[in-house]
Amino acid sequence: MRDRKAYILAKVTKNEHDEEVLENIIVDGSCIRTPDEDIVWAEKQKELEAEAAKGQKGKAPPKKK
């Protein structure tokens, strides 16, 4: 299975020069869904992609990396 990033949070820390540094905290979207929910999510994404390709109502999911 591929990783699905659901959230990107930022943590502010200070480095050795007392400067603020942003660190990204990435939460994988698959860790917040059950396996059954993950299957439904994948099917829904395929439907949205097909609808977007046909020009129907609905938004295309974000591009996959």
What confidence score (pLDDT) does residue 63 get? 63
- Tell me the residue ranges of DSSP E strands in 1-65: 5-14, 20-28
Confidence of residue 54 (pLDDT cuts 50, 70, 90): confident
For 37-48, write each residue's pLDDT tens digit: 888 988 998 998
Angle 8-13-17 from CA coordinates, rounded to 5°: 140
pTM for this predicted structure:
0.39
Cα–Cα dist 26/60, whole Å = 22
What is the phi/psi pair of residue 20, to 5°? -75, 135
What is residue 55's DSSP assignment? Answer: T
> Which helix or strand (DSSP H or E) is residue 37 part of?
helix 35-54
